[in-house]
């Protein structure tokens, strides 16, 4: 069992937790993730990116949005409580190199959480890092200070203009591709956002890496639930990823698969008397 050392509520349904996990804290690298089980009653396996780690304290940090039964139950946990099961680090780490040109890191919504350790790793490798982070509004923006700490420049976009630029993250991304000729773009966020980031960079032939968050069950490549098409090949996000060449990912296929699971969940809720948000009808 793993003890929750610290808990912070970042927005209405987004939480940050620092959890005792000394072996994972020692071994983890930017881009990797864990799978946890909240309790015996909520036995669903939840994949979550490692948003940070402290080797001296033996802790890792996770950030999650309470949207399903298991993440809502995780959100009810308090400091001093325990998580029944936690496995990691899983997945391949981000390939970090020193470039002569800028690296652009783009995060949307909760995707800023997995982006944070990648921004840090690129900066510590000696790169010029430009970060673009976006959210629907100011209240939903997370980890701004942490991103600024390891960025040479930060551009903030909100859909409603309540903070930073009133723009999609692809607008400043296009401007940077045109004026700065970046060495690499790393984009993490909703699938549609990553798709359009890749479409934005493709005409400029800028290497673009995306981190995929698909349906995942076992985390070892056995179940096939996380499969995606990359180029002409089938890949498994849990063992081949989570990061892939954004110009080769079949985002439409991935989005259709995610929507299929979503529709099945909604149909199941209707059958057992719940509305689309899991509340009683």
Binding-site members are: 63-65, 223, 226, 238
Residue 72 CA to residue 279 CA, distance in Å, equals 12
In angstroms, the CA 176 to CA 252 distance is: 26
Secondary structure of the chain: what % helix, strand, coil (to 5)? 30, 30, 35
How big is the chain, counted in residues? 281
Q: How do beta strands 207-211 and 243-245 pair?
A: antiparallel
143 alpha carbon, distance to own chain's centre = 13
9: part of which helix (H) or strand (E)? strand 2-9
Hey, is 263 helix, strand or coil?
Answer: helix
How far is residue 217 from each of residues 43, 127, 149, 237, 273, measured CA to CA in Å?
Answer: 11, 35, 34, 11, 26
Q: Which residues line the annotated binding site for [2Fe-2S] cluster?
A: 223, 226, 238
Contact between 22 and 102 (Cβ < 8 Å): no
Measured in Å, how far apart are the chain's first and last C-alpha atoms? Answer: 36
Annotated binding site for FAD: 63-65
User: Is the bond preceding 43 in cis, omega lying within 30 degrees of 0?
Assistant: no
Give the number of C-alpha atoms closer than 13 A to the C-alpha of residue 181, restricted to the C-beta side.
3
């Amino acid at each position: 069992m793993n003890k929750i050392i610290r808990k912070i509520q970042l927005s209405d349904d987004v939480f940050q937790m620092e959890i005792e996990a000394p072996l994972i804290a020692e071994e983890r690298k930017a881009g990797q993730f864990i799978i946890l089980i909240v309790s015996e009653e909520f036995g669903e396996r939840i994949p979550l990116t490692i948003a940070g780690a402290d080797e001296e304290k033996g802790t890792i940090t996770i950030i999650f949005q309470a949207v399903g039964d298991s993440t809502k139950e995780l959100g009810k946990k308090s400091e001093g409580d325990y998580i029944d099961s936690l496995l990691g680090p899983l997945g391949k780490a981000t390939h970090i190199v020193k470039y002569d040109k800028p690296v652009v890191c783009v995060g949307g919504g909760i995707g800023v959480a997995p982006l944070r350790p990648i921004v840090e790793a690129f900066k510590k490798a000696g790169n010029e890092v430009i970060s673009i982070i976006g959210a629907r509004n100011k209240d939903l923006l997370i980890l701004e200070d942490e991103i600024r700490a390891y960025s040479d420049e930060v551009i903030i976009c909100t859909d409603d203009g309540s903070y930073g630029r009133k723009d999609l993250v692809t607008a400043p991304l296009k401007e940077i591709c045109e004026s700065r000729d970046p060495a690499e773009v790393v984009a993490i966020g909703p699938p549609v956002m990553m798709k359009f980031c890749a479409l934005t960079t493709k005409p400029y032939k800028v290497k673009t890496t995306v981190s995929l968050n698909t349906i995942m069950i076992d985390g070892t490549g056995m179940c096939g639930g996380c499969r995606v098409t990359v180029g002409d090949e089938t890949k498994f996000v849990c063992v081949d990823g989570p990061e892939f060449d954004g110009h080769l990912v079949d985002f439409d296929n991935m989005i259709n698969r995610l929507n299929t699971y979503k529709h099945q969940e909604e149909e199941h809720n209707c059958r057992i008397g719940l509305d689309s948000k899991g509340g009683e009808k």
